[in-house]
Each structure stands twice: as structure tokens, then as C-alpha cells.
């Protein structure tokens, strides 16, 4: 039957429309089918057919169920997806796959049950209806997803506009600061030029005065030369004195009035700007990090067997790494290849540190592990690949975790979170939990979202607070046992160490759910105390007990 029907296949996008061409004129689209003739006709040709065959039943497009299958439909269904020149003839029960003879010869030769499709009676009309129903459901879900995607695209454009404005604001602030620096420098130049101009004008006027005086004395001396010895004596004495004064003036002018000038640009500004890769970080807050296995990225800073407990890790804008080794009471500077550059001793109970400038970190220090003794902060700066101690601040409570955000320091005591200025002035106690020890252990600030994350060792939870200390969420998970270090990447991804669970997990920016367990004991992570994302190497650095630092490349 299909051989007597001519058909065409029109496709647009993912929609396939099977249609028929008039059997008589072979040019127009068929609108009717004659069951007796087994032919299809267009509007014009069907009139002639009805005149010739008045008794033949003719079915229009409203009765497509009485039409035969179009050749294009048959060809499309029978075409093998892997071998386009072959038709599907068989079915492999072992793999539940439709096959052509080529498929069987190449991939299903050893299969136990390959049958001709004509021999299979697996589905019914009811199954076809169920398939249509399921397709309709999927279509509805796809429409919803498409509408959501369109909404997200619109939101993405608005987000782009907002971030573009924020970038422009940052640029304008920098421009304003550069204008201020330029104005201050120009004021220096104007003041110097003004001072030099006054001195030079005064010098010029003095020269004119001396010249006029000497010319006048010379003229007077010539006039009285043969007329009065008394007046000649006076004129000559005045002239000699004038010459002495003039010579002294000339001598002093040569020594004290050198007006050479030179501009020495600020190397610090240029050096810092050249180190920067951009104006700031742009990223997806909940974009999932994927880590490679640690491979050979395990570092031994103390090969003599000394106990290493890496409590904190920081990275300088220039790519060097600073680590706090609790086991050896040292802050250590590593080069870009993680080779030792410098060490600096700190107190025995130093738990955490953070970056406060491009070349300076601040460390929490304590004489004892409890609330007794002296507690405070110690700055350490990097100068010419060497670590140097800077200013100290003494605080009234135990100092455990620390984070820096917009000129403020966020310091934990084990039971409370405080906000201080860089000069040590207490701004506010933001949060407190005195139910047990180390309920407020380490902290990190999300620079993109103004949130503070706090690890609670005692209750095995991660707290998320607003920048003012209001609790947003409390998170717990089987992979977050005895949480220690917490870190927020420049793109806003939240990483937390599970010390007892031997894990590094990623939590969403709201601190409400786990996005992934990034690394575990099977990856070599045992008792992790700190975690840090290195922007310069695109790696995640994990500080663990007795194994220094493990480095995972981000994929």
C-alpha cells in the first residue's frame, strides 16, 4: 500500500510533520484518501475522482485514522540510528535495543536472543496511548523548564546590568582616589613651583638692582674722576663694596638656588596594580567545585619528622602561601612552588590568621588554651621574601578564629564572635553561645554576600549569620563531624572541614544544605583543620595533621 503513496517530509527545529503528495497531479498536497483506489488526492483532483468513481468512499484529513501510513513515516521509523542506510529489522532482548543487520553483525553477534520484529507482540494500542500520555507530561515539563530558562535569561541580563553598574562604581571609586592622589601631587608641584618662582623673581629683581647700581657708580666715578678727588674716593669705595656684595650674591646664588626638579612616581601603587588580575571576583555563589585526586601534591615542610598541624592557610596577591603551623608554633612563608622561604615564631596557642593587606597577615595568639593568660592579635608582614613581626593588640578574651572584611576584624573566642576595628576597638559582640566550649570556633566572611559562617565544634554544626550577627541558618550533616576550618572563595563558594568525618564539604551560600563532599579519607584527607582556595593556581589547599598540606587541582 505504501508504494502507491507519494509523500514528503518537512522538518523545522525538532518538529517533524509527515505529509502526502497528490497521487494524480504529483505536485499539490493531498487532502483526501480513497480507500478503494489506495490513492490520495488534492482538492482539484478529488473532484474528477468523485465523478469517475461515485461509489468510492473518500476520507478527508479529519479522518486521518483511516489513511494509510505515509512513506516518510515508515522510512523515518525504520531507519537505523547508527547505520542510516539500513532498516531496523530485529530486536536484541539482551540489550533491549532495536537493530539492523549491521548492528547485529558488529555488536550483538554473541547475544543470546535476537528476534525479528515481526515475531514480537510486546506492545498494544493501550501502550501507544500511555506513551502519548507520558510524552504529553514530558512536553508540559519541558514547557515549564523552557519558561523558567527564559525567565532566567531575563534575570541574567538584569544581573549583568547590576554587576556592570557595581563594577563601574568600583572603577569610579578608584578614579576618585586617583584624582585625589593626582590633586595632592599637583598641589606639591604647584607649591614647589610657586616657591621657586618667588625666589627666581626675587633673584632676577636683585640682579637688575645691582646692575643699575653698578652702572650708576661707574658713571659717577667717570664724572668726578678729574674734578674731585674726594668724590672719586667715595665713588671708588662704594664701587668696591658693591663689587664685593655682588660677588657674594653670585656665589650664594650658585650654591643655594639650584632649581632642578624630578618626579618620582609611587612604585608601591604601580607594583600593587600590576599584581592585580582584575577589579574583583565575579562568580556563581553555589557553583559546584570539582576536585581532582591529590596525586603528587603532598608537601612536607618539615622532613625531620616534626609534628605538623596546619591550622590556617592564606595566599598573598603575588602567589606566595602563608601557613600557620600549630604543631611547631610557626608562621611559614612558601614560594609559588610551595618551597620554604621563611619562618616566624608565634605563641604556642595560635589558632588562626587572615590577610589584612597585600603583604600582611594577623594571627590570633594566646598564652594558654583556656580563658586564662594574655590574649591578642599579632601582625606579620612579608618583606623581600622574609616574615617580620609587626604591631600587637591585646584583647580581653581568648582569641581563636579571625576574618577580615572592609576594615573590620571578626574574632571568635570559642564562645562568642566579636567585631573589632583594625586598631583594636571593640565595635560589637555579634553572637554568643556559652552552652559548651568551642561553640564559636572558626569564622569566614562571604565578600560577595555579606554573610559570616561560624563552625561549632561542640554541636557539629555550621552557623550562617548576617554581617550584624543575626542567625540565618544552622546546618548539620553526617559529613560534617567536629567542624574546624571554614573558607569562602572569592566567588562565594563555602568550604568547610569535617575534622572527625575526614571530609571537605561545600555548602550553599545560605548555609542551609550540602552541595557536595569534595574530598574524604579515600582521597588522603585525614583530620583536616584548614581549607583554602588558591586563585593563582586554581587549587584547593587542605591543611591536615601530620601530613602538612594536600593540594587538589580544581577541574
The per-residue pLDDT for 547 is: 64
pLDDT score, position 418: 97
Please say if the pLDDT value at position 215 is more than 50. Answer: yes
| 19 DSSP β-pair partners | 8
Confidence of residue 18 (pLDDT cuts 50, 70, 90): very low
Q: With 60 as the cut, is the pLDDT of residue 289 above it?
A: yes
> Which stretch of DSSP H or E encloses residue 32?
strand 32-34
Residue 304's pLDDT is 58
Specify burial of residue 70 (Cβ count, 10 A radius: 0-12, 13-18, 19+). buried
* pLDDT recorded at residue 392: 93
- Where do we find the cell 580581653? 396
Which residues lie below 8 Å from residue 70, measured CB to CB, with a gap of 6+? 2, 5, 7, 18, 19, 20
Indicate the range of 257-261, 350-354, 377-381, 526-530 predicted with least confidence: 257-261
> What pLDDT does residue 349 have?
93
Q: How many CA atoms lie within 13 A of 150 on its CB side?
A: 6
Using 50, 70 and 90 to split pLDDT, how confident is the model at 117? confident
Query: Which of the residue ranges 111-120, 286-295, 329-338 would you say has the lowest mean pLDDT?
Result: 286-295
Which of 515, 502, 511 lies closest to 475 in space, CA to CA? 511
Q: Is 428 helix (H, G, I), strand (E, B) or coil?
A: strand
pLDDT at 389 over 70: yes
Whether the per-residue pLDDT at 483 is higher than 90: the answer is yes
Instruction: Specify the higher pLDDT residue, 509 or 226.
Output: 509
Residues whose CB is less than 8 angstroms from the CB of residue 277 and which lie 6 or more positions away in sequence, other chains included: 535
pLDDT at residue 124 greater than cutoff 90: no
Q: How far apart are alpha carbons 128 and 148 in whole angstroms? A: 30
Determine the distance from the C-alpha atom of residue 389 to the mean position of all C-alpha atoms in its chain, rounded to a whole number: 31
pLDDT of residue 303: 57
For the segment 19-36, what is each residue's pLDDT rounded down to a tens digit?
A: 788 888 888 888 999 988
94: nearest Cα among 114, 117, 116: 114
Note whether 1 and 16 are within 8 A (CB).
Answer: no
- pLDDT of res. 296: 52
Residue-averaged pLDDT of the chain: 86
Whole-structure pTM value: 0.60
Question: Is residue 316's pLDDT more than 80?
Answer: yes
Beta bridge partners of 310: 325
Greater confidence (436 vs 262) lies with 436
Question: What is the mean predicted confidence (pLDDT) over 128-139?
Answer: 87
Average pLDDT over residues 435-442: 94
Which residues on adjacent β-strands are paired with residue 495? 487, 506
HEC profile of 352-395: CEEEEECCEEEEEEECCCCCCCCEEEEEEEEECCEEEEEEEEEE
Q: What residues form DSSP beta bridges with 58?
A: 34
Report pLDDT digits (tens) over 194-212: 888 888 888 888 888 888 8
Residue 162: which H helix or E strand, with range? helix 125-224
- Output the nine-digit C-alpha cell for 270: 604601580
Q: Which residues pair with 392 in a beta bridge?
A: 378
Q: Three-class SS of residue 441?
A: coil
* Least confident window among 227-231, 272-276, 300-304, 360-364: 300-304
Task: Examine the pLDDT at 4 and tell me if it is beyond 70.
Answer: no
On the question of pLDDT at 481 being above 60, the answer is yes
pLDDT, one tens digit per residue, over 493-521 is 999 999 999 999 999 999 999 999 999 99
Q: How high is the pLDDT of residue 391?
A: 92
pLDDT band at 8 (very low <50, low <70, confident <90, very high): very low
Distance of alpha carbon 483 from alpha carbon 499, whole angstroms: 6
Residue 535's pLDDT is what?
Answer: 86
Examine the pLDDT at 491 and tell me if it is beyond 90. Answer: no
pLDDT at 10 over 80: no
- Kindly tell me if the per-residue pLDDT of 297 is higher than 60: no
Reduce the DSSP state of residue 54 to 3 states and report it. Answer: coil
Full DSSP string of 90-157? EEETTTTEEE-HHHHHHHSTT-S-EEEGGG-----HHHHHHHHHHHHHHHHHHHHHHHHHHHHHHHHH
Residue 161 DSSP SS3: helix
Residue 446 has pLDDT above 70, yes or no: yes
- pLDDT bucket at 2, cuts 50 / 70 / 90: very low
pLDDT of residue 162 exceeding 60 = yes
Please report the pLDDT score of residue 156 as a whole number.
Answer: 86
pLDDT at res. 9: 33
pLDDT of residue 17: 41
**pLDDT confidence band for 15 (50 / 70 / 90):** very low
Amino acid at each position: 500500500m505504501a508504494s502507491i503513496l507519494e509523500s514528503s517530509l518537512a522538518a523545522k527545529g525538532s518538529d517533524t510533520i509527515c505529509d502526502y503528495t497528490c497521487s494524480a497531479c504529483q505536485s499539490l498536497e493531498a487532502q483526501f484518501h480513497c480507500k478503494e483506489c489506495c490513492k490520495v488526492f488534492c482538492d482539484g483532483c478529488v473532484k474528477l475522482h468523485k465523478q469517475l468513481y461515485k461509489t468510492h468512499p473518500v476520507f478527508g484529513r479529519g479522518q486521518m485514522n483511516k489513511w494509510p501510513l505515509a512513506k516518510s513515516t515508515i522510512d523515518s521509523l525504520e531507519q537505523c540510528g547508527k547505520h542510516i542506510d539500513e532498516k531496523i529489522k530485529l530486536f536484541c532482548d539482551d540489550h533491549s535495543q532495536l537493530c539492523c543487520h549491521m548492528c547485529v553483525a558488529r555488536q550483538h553477534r554473541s547475544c543470546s536472543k535476537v528476534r525479528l520484529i515481526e515475531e514480537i507482540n510486546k506492545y498494544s494500542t493501550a501502550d501507544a496511548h500511555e506513551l502519548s500520555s507520558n510524552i504529553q507530561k514530558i512536553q508540559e515539563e519541558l514547557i515549564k523548564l523552557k519558561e523558567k530558562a527564559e525567565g532566567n535569561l531575563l534575570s541574567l541580563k538584569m544581573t549583568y546590568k547590576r554587576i556592570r553598574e557595581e563594577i563601574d562604581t568600583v572603577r569610579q571609586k578608584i578614579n576618585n582616589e586617583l584624582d585625589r592622589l593626582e590633586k595632592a601631587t599637583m598641589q606639591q608641584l604647584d607649591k614647589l613651583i610657586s616657591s621657586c618662582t618667588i625666589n627666581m623673581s626675587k633673584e632676577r629683581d636683585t640682579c637688575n638692582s645691582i646692575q643699575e647700581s653698578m652702572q650708576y657708580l661707574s658713571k659717577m666715578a667717570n664724572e668726578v674722576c678729574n674734578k674731585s678727588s674726594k668724590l672719586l674716593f667715595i665713588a671708588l669705595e662704594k664701587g668696591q663694596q658693591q663689587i664685593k656684595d655682588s660677588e657674594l650674591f653670585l656665589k650664594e646664588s650658585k650654591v643655594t638656588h639650584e632649581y632642578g626638579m624630578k618626579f618620582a612616581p609611587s612604585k608601591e601603587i604601580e607594583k600593587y596594580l600590576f599584581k592585580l588580575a582584575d577589579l574583583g571576583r565575579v562568580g556563581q555563589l553555589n557553583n559546584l567545585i570539582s576536585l581532582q585526586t591529590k596525586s603528587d601534591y603532598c608537601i612536607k615542610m618539615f622532613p625531620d619528622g616534626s609534628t605538623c598541624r596546619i591550622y590556617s592557610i592564606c595566599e598573598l596577591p603575588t602567589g606566595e602561601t602563608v601557613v600557620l603551623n600549630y604543631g611547631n608554633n610557626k608562621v611559614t612563608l612558601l614560594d609559588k612552588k610551595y618551597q620554604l622561604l621563611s619562618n616566624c615564631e608565634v605563641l604556642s596557642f595560635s589558632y588562626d590568621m587572615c590577610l589584612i593587606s597585600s603583604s600582611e597577615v594577623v594571627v590570633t595568639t594566646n598564652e594558654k588554651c583556656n580563658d586564662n593568660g594574655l590574649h591578642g592579635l599579632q601582625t606579620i608582614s612579608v618583606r623581600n621574601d622574609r616574615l617580620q613581626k609587626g604591631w600587637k593588640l591585646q584583647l580581653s578574651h581568648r582569641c581563636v578564629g579571625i576574618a577580615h572584611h572592609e576594615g573590620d576584624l571578626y574574632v571568635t573566642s570559642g564562645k562568642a564572635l566579636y567585631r573589632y576595628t583594625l586598631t583594636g576597638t571593640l565595635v560589637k559582640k555579634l553572637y554568643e553561645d556559652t552552652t559548651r566550649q568551642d561553640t564559636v570556633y572558626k569564622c569566614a566572611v562571604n565578600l560577595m554576600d555579606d554573610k559570616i559562617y561560624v563552625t561549632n565544634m561542640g554541636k557539629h554544626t555550621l552557623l550562617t549569620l548576617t554581617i550584624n550577627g543575626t542567625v540565618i541558618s544552622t546546618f548539620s550533616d553526617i559529613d560534617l563531624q567536629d567542624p574546624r576550618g571554614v573558607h569562602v572563595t572569592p566567588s562565594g563558594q563555602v568550604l568547610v572541614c569535617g575534622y572527625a568525618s575526614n571530609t571537605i564539604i561545600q555548602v550553599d551560600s545560605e548555609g542551609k544544605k550540602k552541595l557536595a563532599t569534595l574530598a574524604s579519607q579515600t582521597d588522603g584527607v585525614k583530620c583536616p583543620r584548614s581549607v583554602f582556595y588558591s586563585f593563582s593556581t586554581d587549587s584547593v589547599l587542605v591543611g591536615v595533621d601530620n601530613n602538612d598540606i594536600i593540594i587538589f587541582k580544581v577541574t
